[in-house]
Amino acid sequence: MGNDGGSIPKRSELVSANKKPSARDEADRAQAQQEAFWKSCTLSKKTLEDPIVSCAFGRLYNKDAILQYLISPETYGDADELVPHISSLKDVVELEFTKAKNEEGKEAWICPVTRKEVKGAGGKFVYLSVCGHVFSDQAISNIEEKVCLECAAAYDSKMDVIVINPVKEADIGAAKERMKTLAEKGITHSGKAAKKSKKRKAAAVAEPAPAPSADVPEFATKIAAKLKEDGHLNKKSMSAAVKSLYRDKNDKDEGSNWISKGTFNRSVA
Ligand SMILES: [Zn+2]
């Protein structure tokens, strides 16, 4: 062994602007993307908080964001792109995470069988659409009898095991196939009967965009846009005192005197 202390990059390697992203960069990006999907609601982009639901594509949402969307679809500007496949609560399943303290002493989701922490980096995790219990894929693959280890609900290993935030094309493809099969049978993601309607059938198989394999920048842009929007809302709702600092200079202001006006104008000029 020897000479394994890592190599020192040459200056040209560090400053080259046109350098193609390396496999390592790609892996880092993919990991950052996965972490974002595991931490924030796909619809509201807010931090995930119980109760958490998941759609047929294994994406995670805050239940309140989905409820808000179902009541007023216009709440989220990009909802048509993100959740064309959700038109009722039957299209999502509430997840049941097992919680425990992780190595850092923080509460974390774990697989109740392998005790592995359930997160973006760390393997493949699934839930059962019949009950919402979350496991590592490894644990589920090794179960002979197809009943949930947490609640004994019977499940079908082909139709009822949903990969959370799938990365592999095979898993994404399987989710699409499953949705088609369910739609043909008039069954929703949660296993409940769908209301009979042609429109619904079309919506049930509609593919959301961007898919979890979409670029990080697109996802990041959406989050940035959302933050900007929130900032805007905050400004609208700020107190009268703070608002007065932002007063338009054309506004008539009887309350302030020439001293404060002058000071404010100078400071922003
Ligand atoms: Zn269960």
Q: What is the whole-number distance in angstroms between the Cα of residue 150 and the centre of ligand 1?
A: 5
Residue 124 maps to which CATH number?
3.30.40.10
Q: Greater confidence, 196 or 201?
A: 196
Query: Is 68 found in the same domain as 161?
Result: yes
Query: Is 207 found in the same domain as 93?
Result: yes
Specify if 2 maps to a domain: no
DSSP at 96: B
Supply the mean pLDDT for the chain: 78
Specify if 181 maps to a domain: yes
Q: How far is CA 150 from CA 58, 117, 160, in A?
A: 20, 17, 15
pLDDT band for 122, please (50, 70, 90 cuts).
confident
pLDDT band for 205, please (50, 70, 90 cuts).
low
Q: What is the whole-number distance in angstroms between the Cα of residue 231 and the centre of ligand 1?
A: 40
pLDDT at 252: 44
Distance of CA 59 to the CA centre of its chain: 6
Query: Is 117 found in the same domain as 222?
Result: no
Q: What is the whole-number distance in angstroms between the Cα of residue 95 and the centre of ligand 1?
A: 10
Identify residues whose C-beta is under 5 A from ligand 1, the ion.
131, 133, 148, 150-151, 153
Q: What is the whole-number distance in angstroms between the Cα of residue 26 and the centre of ligand 1?
A: 36
Q: What is the whole-number distance in angstroms between the Cα of residue 81 and the centre of ligand 1?
A: 31
Query: Is 160 found in the same domain as 210?
Result: yes
Query: Is 132 found in the same domain as 66?
Result: yes
Query: Is 38 found in the same domain as 90?
Result: yes
pLDDT at 195: 83
Single-letter code of the amino acid located at 17:
A
Query: Is 182 found in the same domain as 262?
Result: no
196 pLDDT higher than 60: yes
Specify if 10 maps to a domain: no
**63 SS3 class:** helix
Sign of the alpha-carbon dihedral angle for 83, 84, 90, 93? negative
Query: Is 149 found in the same domain as 24?
Result: yes
Between β-strands 93-94 and 52-54, what pairing exists: parallel, antiparallel or unpaired? antiparallel
Q: What is the whole-number distance in angstroms between the Cα of residue 166 and the centre of ligand 1?
A: 20
Specify if 226 maps to a domain: yes
Q: What is the whole-number distance in angstroms between the Cα of residue 151 and the centre of ligand 1?
A: 4
| Average pLDDT of the residues in 94-115 | 93
Q: What is the whole-number distance in angstroms between the Cα of residue 187 and the centre of ligand 1?
A: 20
Specify if 171 maps to a domain: yes
Looking at the structure of the chain, the number of domains it has is: 2
pLDDT band for 214, please (50, 70, 90 cuts).
very low
Q: Which residue range forms the structural domain that includes residue 269? A: 216-246+255-269
Query: CA-based angle 178:182:186, to the nearest 5?
Result: 170
Query: Is 226 found in the same domain as 205?
Result: no
* 136, β-bridge pairs: 125
Query: Is 103 found in the same domain as 38?
Result: yes
| Average pLDDT of the residues in 205-221 | 53
Query: Is 232 found in the same domain as 137?
Result: no
What is the percent of the chain with per-residue pLDDT over 90, rounded to a whole number?
52
17 pLDDT higher than 80: no
Specify if 4 maps to a domain: no
Query: Is 61 found in the same domain as 117?
Result: yes
Specify if 5 maps to a domain: no
pLDDT at 30: 78
pLDDT at 12: 54
| Average pLDDT of the residues in 238-247 | 39
